[in-house]
Amino acid sequence: MAVTKSEELLPYLEQLGVVPLVTLHSLDEAVPLAQALEEGGVPVAEVTFRSPYCIEGMKKIAAEVPGVTLVAGTVHTLDQAKASIDAGAKGLVTPAFTEEIVDWALENNVPILPGTAVPSDVDKAYQRGMRYVKFFPAEAYGGVKTLKALNGPFAEMKFLPTGGVSLKNAADYISLKNVFAIGGSFPVPSAAQKVGDWAAVAQACKDSRAIVEPIIASKKA
């Protein structure tokens, strides 16, 4: 079931453990792609502003595939943030810690995962009372090793690593106690998306869940 209240979003993402990054190549693929995510057991889409179809795509998904929870990604401006919420997004993900967007989101009870890469970014979030952030670009900034190091001074923080995360290293990331979910395009393989092979996308989502689900369960035990 899709998220309906803002306070439900982060626990929901933590329960799923996987956040697919979706960059729409056309408006026509929005609905079948979302349906593939739902079929694959990962009914959430971080629809990015890397595409001009972001806003209209989210509107179509919200109207026609209501079981998929929408999050807007690669949000660079406050106007994009506001338009995303109007289009049906339940939260925001930014590539950097953009204070104007973060503060607006906090003031308006909009869940946001700001991009962090270094301790100063993480501390900006911490000082605002935030405990969930994005870690980007994960592999380029030391990946698992850096996240382990950040757990010392920021033991209360939980991260969504994206950037270089794949099926090959998914288990390494999701196993970390300060990682609540992993994100990336691996649940939506570019080759499958390019030809509209939605069955392959659904299978990639199932493969992703097969990796993270038992690890998440063991972390809760």
Question: Which residues are known catalytic residues?
Answer: 46, 134
Beta-carbon contacts of residue 201 (< 8 Å; ≥ 6 apart): 33, 36, 37, 40, 187, 188, 189, 192, 193
Place of tokens 């099926």: 167
Q: Residue 57, Cβ neighbours under 10 Å: how many?
A: 28
Residue count of the chain: 221
Q: Are 111 and 180 in contact (CB under 8 A)?
A: no
Q: Are 52 and 23 in contact (CB under 8 A)?
A: no
Q: How far is CA 132 from the centre of its chain?
A: 11
